[in-house]
């Protein structure tokens, strides 16, 4: 089971002990504090995800999402689900759709671990409708 969370505005994914950064970071990241070697320049338009090298035992921070997709298929799926193609950034609105499905703002009701096994099962055509609706400028 893979763990997926956020790091510096990008997505941090862990599968079988391997870590991937998906999308561009939105804020500066202290890679050492996060537990990783600095990956160098990140350009998600050229490469939507990069493998990170941990410097020590590292975990995806809470809150995080659990999905059943593993190995390199995981960052590929996360790119398709959450990355905005024209910017290489992760859509906060799409991320919140998965992690904060309720309409109320009660922090206490949000779990630290979100079961999202369904993410790997949503047909691409259906998710595209969701993406188009969520990302539509009003």
Integer angstrom CA distances of residue 73 from 20, 49, 77: 11, 11, 6
pLDDT tens for 38-82 read 999 999 999 999 999 999 999 999 899 999 999 999 999 999 999
Write out the two tokens for 84: 């905005």
Burial of 39 (0-12, 13-18, 19+ CB in 10 A): middle
CA-nearest of 124, 27, 135, 119 to 64 is 119
Distance CA 119, CA 4 (A): 11
The count of structural domains within the chain is 1
pLDDT of 106 higher than 80: no
Domain that holds residue 13: 2-135
């Amino acid at each position: 089971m893979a763990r997926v969370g956020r790091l510096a505005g990008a997505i941090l994914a862990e599968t079988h002990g391997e870590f991937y950064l998906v999308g561009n970071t939105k804020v500066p990241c202290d890679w050492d504090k996060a537990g990783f070697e600095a990956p160098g320049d990140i350009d998600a338009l050229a490469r939507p995800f990069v493998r990170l090298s941990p410097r020590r035992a590292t975990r995806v921070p809470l809150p995080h999402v659990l999905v059943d997709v593993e190995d390199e298929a995981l960052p590929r799926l996360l790119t398709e689900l959450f990355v905005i193609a024209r910017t290489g950034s992760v859509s906060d609105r799409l991320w919140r759709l998965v992690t904060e499905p309720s309409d109320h703002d009660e922090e206490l009701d949000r779990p630290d671990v979100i079961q999202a096994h369904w993410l790997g099962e949503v047909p691409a055509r259906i998710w595209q409708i969701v993406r188009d609706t969520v990302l539509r400028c009003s």
